[in-house]
Amino acid sequence: MLTPEEVKETLKDACINLRFHARGGQGGVTASNLCVEAYLGYGVCQPRFGAERMGSPTESFVRLSANENLVRTNEQVYIPHYVSVLDPTLLGEIDVTAGIPHGGWLIVNTVIDQITIQDIIKRKDLNIATIDATNIAMEILGRNITNTIILGSLIRVSNLFSLEELSDAIMRRFKGEIAAKNIEAIKRAIEETCIYESGETLDIAKDTKVPWQQVELGLPGYTQLDKAGVWYCDVDVIEFGSNQVKTGSWGEWDILWDKETCTDCAQCWYICPDFAIIREKGEDGLWHMKGIDIFHCKSCQNCIEVCPVKAIDKKLKQGPASCAAP
Amino acid sequence: MSIEPMKIFFKEIKEPIKTTMIGNYAVAGGVTQTDPDVICAFPITPQTQSVEGLSDVVHQGRLKAAFVNVESELAAISYSTAACAAGARAFTATASQGYLLMTEALPMAVGWRLPLTMMISARAFNSPNLSIWNSWEYTQVNSELGWNIIVSENVQETYDAAILSVMISEESLFPTIFVHDGFIISHSVQNLWLIPDETVRKMTLKKPRHTIDPSKPGTWGGIVTPSYFMEGRAKLDHEKKPALTQMKSCFDQFKTATGREYNLIETYNLDNSSKTAFITMGSMCGNIISWMTKNKDIGLIKIRAFRPFPYLELQKIVQEYNIEKLIILEKSDSLNNMLPPFSMSIASALYPLKILFRSFIVGLGGRDVTRDEFDVAKKKMQSVSDMNGPLYMYLGVRETKEKIVGVER
């Protein structure tokens, strides 16, 4: 770990990059904003450019340096030195360690231990910090918002800014009691963060970007694309469409379907925005409902509302993924 | 419900404030401070948060303006033009395809000499596929209609441009577009300094001008025979001539009031050993400036005023620093077998100087532009010694699954 003095010295002619993984609605972008506001120097924050929905995996990036010219770039962040994961269910769903150099830090809101995390991420060269931010959030804030709390852990392992500097930023953004409670939660996070050091040293000045990684070699080149940019259904050139996206992990509820009560009226099938109602043609020549496609169902609950016989019900998902609540 | 970042604009800003904000809300704030009377925009995709922010300040009563949602971009520009002709200070905004749908009504604001302002978040047009990400397709169309166009590199510049555009429009009596790169600037959170309301008010005083006036009836845009049309066009051209000088005087006035210096063209490290410089505009300039901290043998020319094009200033800069080679980077192509649009402007401007240049098309549809592109462009330029062969190439594009065009690996 770097001391505050070392951080200051390093940032004179280098740039520290952070990445936040969260789900839409959990405040990952707010966390990165607060870093920029807390850091006494130059900083920018970028979300991952594209569409974001409640519950979908999101990423946001922060670039901090004492040299104005170094943060002036609008390039995406390829080498994150500190990666914070606000929702532990993301560990298995996306590659949260992409681009982290040797000796980089992974900060996870979780109750599982660091050795298990090492197994999940399949890397042993990273330093890992864990914090049960969900618990702190429920106790102090009364709701599962962990974005400010994870910054406490970030302070503990990075020394990029002090608690006082972060408190100032929080008081500028939030008012009165909310600010005070957030600061109290951050203080607890600083104390309760568990640290597991891998022994590797982090070289911030080293450029470990894979040359031309933004061009994504391995995907078809322009000479291999179909005329007129058409995606033909029977040719598997481009992976496309919403059926590739695991929207099923976004939601807060499991949707339950009762076969006995269902009358096969198909109203749910018409209203489902994600084609997540599975129907099949039976031997009698009629279409019958078969169940719910949990890979794509993001639990919008339209089907529950529309069902005339109450054959569809919901159950809160287990675990912290359910915190992506509206 | 209010939009969190807009709250800072609900109260009077009495002294310069440092804050952090995304480009779109910064523009909304800047426009709020210029006190427009009419804001008219199409509220759905492809629209940006700038009008969302403005709807908030109007709703809160902070801004006494008519906020009008309309059914299309064509309606938005028509409504704004008419409001401006009636004497209102008007603002509209669009992005991507919306700019195309506006095309029919765009020349009118120029012809009627209306100080309208518009924000464009530069995003791709749909061809062959739909993309919502950053590209400079706006340079392919409508840039010759007579609108002033200024391009911003970062959030601070686009906030300032929102105010500068009003100054430039009112000074030149030609409409002004200010552009920032979609997503890259429109959605990045950056630090910026806000200007006190009183300072903005003084810079953007509402001056009397020609308007539709019931006490002085007349026909606006009435038909003329061939005996008149050409004179009308020549008059426009004649009156457009001072626009760059007026733009410059607005930049100077802005500098006096805020301390931030802008110019039609900005230069970085042109006094370098290789006598070579990149020339580009928008957010990519930031990427190059960061890259230049480790590559000190190359310079950068950043174009701020894209229309009218400051060709005399560019010639002067190139001659003064004795630049021999230019690397043009642009996020647009044009399939015209010659050069993409931005490069065409540079090539025409520098024709008398017989300078060596090559044009590189990068970053279309949101593809990131990184040190890799700059390294290769710099290297390729070192071996250029004449103007033979193809003058442009795509950089950072896959030819096959294994090969990148023009890159030996």
Q: What pLDDT, on the 0 to 100 scale, is given for residue A106?
A: 96
Instruction: Report the sign of the C-alpha dihedral through residues B4, B9, B14, B20, in that order.
Output: positive
- Does residue B267 have a pLDDT over 50? yes
Mean pLDDT, rounded, for A135-141: 92
Residue pair A101/A81 in contact by the 8 Å Cβ criterion: yes
Distance between CA A152 and CA A185 in Å, rounded? 8
pLDDT of A31 higher than 90: yes
Rounded to an integer, the average pLDDT of B338-362 is 95
Residues of chain B contacting residue A211, judged by C-beta atoms under 8 Å apart:
372, 409
Q: Output the CA torsion sign for B92, B77, B340, A221.
A: positive
**Smallest CA–CA separation between A117 and chain B, in Å?**
31
Report the pLDDT averaged over residues A278-303: 90
Contact A326, A25 (CB under 8 A): yes
What's the average model confidence in pLDDT over B315-340? 95
Is pLDDT of A129 > 70? yes
Q: Mean pLDDT across the stretch B87-106?
A: 95
Q: Residue A49 has what pLDDT?
A: 72
pTM of the model: 0.90
Q: Please, what's the b/e burial string for B116-126 (b: 16 or more CB within 10 A of its CB; e: otherwise)?
A: bbbbbbbbbbe
Alpha helices in chain A, H assignment, sequence order: 4-10, 28-38, 90-93, 114-121, 133-136, 147-158, 163-173, 176-192, 267-271, 302-306
Domain boundaries, chain B: 4-257, 265-394
Amino acid A318: pLDDT: 62
Fold match, B4-257 / B265-394: yes
Whether residues A214 and B290 touch (CB distance < 8 A) is answered with: no
Q: Is the pLDDT of residue B42 over 60?
A: yes
**Could you tell me which residues are beta bridge partners of residue A219?**
A217
Report chain A's mean pLDDT, rounded to a whole number.
Answer: 88
**Is pLDDT larger for residue B231 or for residue A237?**
B231
B273 pLDDT more than 90: yes
CB-nearest to A219 from B190, B284, B401 is: B401
Instruction: Report which of A65, A73, A87 is spatially closest to residue A9, judged by C-alpha positions.
Output: A65
The predicted-structure confidence for A11-28, as pLDDT tens digits, reads as follows: 999 999 999 999 888 888
Q: Where does the pLDDT of residue A320 fall: very low under 50, low under 70, confident under 90, or very high at 90 and above? A: very low
Mean pLDDT of chain B: 95
Q: Which residues of B touch A33 (CB under 8 A)?
A: 20, 189
Q: Which fold has domain B4-257?
A: Rossmann fold (3.40.50)
- Please judge whether B181 and A76 are an interchain contact, meaning their C-beta atoms are less than 8 angstroms apart: no
Domains of chain A: 4-215 (3.40.920.10), 242-323 (3.30.70.20)
Q: Is the pLDDT of residue B339 over 70?
A: yes
Domain B265-394: CATH architecture, name and number where available: 3-Layer(aba) Sandwich (3.40)
**Percent of chain A clearing pLDDT 70 (strictly above):** 93
Task: Give the pLDDT score at A321.
Answer: 40
Question: pLDDT category, B269, cuts 50, 70, 90?
Answer: very high
pLDDT band at A92 (very low <50, low <70, confident <90, very high): confident
Of A210-214, A248-252, B159-163, B343-347, the range with the lowest mean pLDDT is: A248-252
Mean pLDDT for A201-208 is 90
Mean pLDDT of A133-157: 92
CB contact under 8 A, B399 and A70: no
**pLDDT value at A100 more than 60:** yes
**Percent of chain B's residues with pLDDT above 90:** 93
Residues A54-77 pLDDT 10s: 788 889 999 999 999 999 999 999
Question: Most A CBs within 10 Å: which of B372, B379, B398, B404, as the mutation test of the A interface?
Answer: B398
Q: Which residues of B touch A (CB under 8 A)?
A: 4, 20, 128-129, 132-134, 154, 181, 183-185, 187-191, 283-284, 286-287, 289-293, 366-372, 396-405, 407, 409
* pLDDT of A308 strictly over 80: yes
CA–CA distance, A251 with B77 (Å, rounded to integer): 40
Which residues in chain A have Cβ-Cβ distances shorter than 8 Å to B183?
A: 49
A222-277, pLDDT tens digit by residue? 998 888 888 776 665 555 556 667 788 888 788 999 999 999 999 999 999 888 89
CA distances from B182 to A48, A266, B371 (A): 13, 42, 20
B305 touches B314 (CB < 8 A): no
Inter-chain CB pairs, A–B, below 8 Å: 116
User: In terms of C-beta density within 10 A (0-12 exposed, 13-18 middle, 19 or more buried), how is residue A228 classed?
Assistant: exposed
Q: How confident is the model at residue B173 (pLDDT cuts 50, 70, 90)?
A: very high
- pLDDT over 80 at B158, yes or no: yes
